[in-house]
Amino acid sequence: MRHVYRVEGCECVYQAIYRQEKSDNAYYFGEKVNIFQDDVQLTPEYEYIRVSCQSLPERDQLYFNFHALIHVNNTLEQMLDSKYRDYTGESVNIIMIGIDSVSRSNMIRQMPLTRKVLKSEIGAVELLGYNKVGENTLVNLVPMLHGKFVEELGDVQFDNVPFIWRMFNDFGYRTSFAEDHPKISIFNFRREGFDDPPANYYLRPLALAMEDQESIWTKRHCVGSLLETERVLDYQYRFLRTFRQKPFFSFSFITRMTHDDVNLAGNVDKSYATFLSKLKREGFLENAVLFFFSDHGIRFGEIRRTTVGRMEERMPFMFISHMNKLLRRRLEINALRLSTPFDIYETLKETFNDSWKSGRGHSLFHTIIPENRTCVSALVSAQFCLCGYRLPLNELDAKVYEASNAILKTVNTFIELNTDGRCALFKLDRILYAGSDDDHHLYVAIDARPRDAETVKPNAKASFEASYNKLTKRIVGKVERINSYVLHTLCVNDITVKDYCLCWDSVF
């Protein structure tokens, strides 16, 4: 039960927030319930509520807020306890906390308090060679949580994918899944998400309701008196506290503060440091493996136009803690090797069943990654590989122009096939950088401007980056847009088209 207490001199009402059946993008409110007369005990059906209070007799609004509640569901508990009795593996809990678009280097710059807590208080090990394997959030987290590339899923509905937390759930672990920014969350950006809640405790319905209530937001990403980040962390903490005597798998991924601005991670440094320190102080890490990570570095903005920005974008941070000294020693060795999200998946699997091996990664606790591991053997494509020396190339090199033209041809062909003239075709404005790491691959970034216009706004440009194979004369992987384009793509709704569009009405 959760209590809502009476307050003298005001009238308060609350409403339950419900997830629309078979929809990850819809919710509805229950009836308003007056709680002025008595204290109220909320039953498990009230997972999320909206509360408002008015003064009496003036009827001025005194309070308006949203709350997420963690209830113990007895029916669920009986089912999970029954499953856990048949479990013969190691009993260790999992806590995963992810932050969108923060590179390891940017974490060093922006989050010194969090870094200090992780290294000094918790004793977490930092993976120095952790490399992304895909472009954006989904394509890096599916390998981490399922052990496959997202392309291998095809058109399968996410409800039918055996993500790692579901494996734990099948063995009697309670599961929680929490995110902010519901419009671009992991499984909902360009996708339909889940028909049914993916975990036993799922924050998304509340996130959707808060997103639609514009009046409670501030420009500093606060919802009421709390940062949105802190609301997600508080939900995760309440889950951990409620089930600290039970096996659990808790996953949170937080996006809004860090997704668009390389300099905003510092605004939540204290929030993460305080949260992690509390987990350590209150003993939640004594029987848990902690993964504190990012999916990739910042993908847009001025820094991505530089060689440093390109490198940072491919190297997110990853911290792991485990109290077992033998396992920690192997982890410390592997921290100096090339590692990927596939290794995190293998590590998670072997945490509770060391006989399950996918062959795509190494368990960081149970095996030693070879020193001579290559991007090819680690399943990191040439587009994202940072191993080896990258030789800068002269912008006037004929092969650099060949690669630049291949980028433009790829983008222009896509625009011609997928738009009705609302988006400009491009020509080369200038080459931002070019480099090569072997005899076959070039890495080129360019600025492009509208092909059929001479006088345009100074910022009416698009920046693209790609890997180019000199032998096949083809782009390797996808051409990436590396500048912010929100205000230049309002003429189209298709998210895929936005990746390449520069609307004509934003050019002049």
Q: Tell me the residue type at 395.
A: E
Residues 251-264 as b/e (b if ≥16 CB within 10 A, e otherwise) read: bbbbbbbbbbebeb
N-terminal to C-terminal alpha carbon distance within the chain: 60
Rg (C-alpha) for the chain, rounded Å, is 25
pLDDT score recorded for residue 505: 85
pLDDT (tens, 9 = 90+) of the chain, 508 residues, equals: 455 555 667 888 999 999 999 999 999 999 998 875 567 788 888 999 999 998 888 888 888 999 999 999 999 999 999 999 887 767 899 999 999 999 999 999 999 999 999 999 999 999 999 999 999 999 999 999 999 999 999 888 999 999 999 999 999 999 999 999 999 999 999 899 999 999 999 999 999 999 999 999 987 789 988 999 999 999 999 999 999 999 999 999 999 999 999 999 999 999 999 999 999 999 999 999 999 999 999 998 889 888 899 999 999 999 999 988 888 999 999 999 999 999 999 999 988 776 666 678 999 999 999 999 999 999 999 889 988 767 888 888 899 999 999 999 999 999 999 998 899 999 999 999 998 877 688 999 999 999 987 767 777 889 999 999 999 999 998 999 998 888 889 999 888 899 999 999 887 7
User: Which of 218, 191, 316, 187 is CA-nearest to residue 258?
Assistant: 316
pLDDT score recorded for residue 202: 98
What tokens were used for 400?
A: 């650099």
pLDDT score recorded for residue 413: 97
Q: 311 Cβ partners below 8 Å, 6+ apart?
A: 386
**Residue 301 CA to its chain's centroid (Å):** 18
Half-sphere exposure of 332 (CA within 13 A, CB side): 11
> Three-state SS across 414-469?
HHHHHCCCCECCEEEEEEEEEEECCCCEEEEEEEEEECCCCCCCCCCCEEEEEEEE
pLDDT score recorded for residue 1: 43
pLDDT score recorded for residue 34: 82
pLDDT score recorded for residue 358: 64
Q: 392 Cβ partners below 8 Å, 6+ apart?
A: 433, 434, 435
**Where would I find the H helices in 213-324?**
228-242, 256-259, 269-281, 307-313
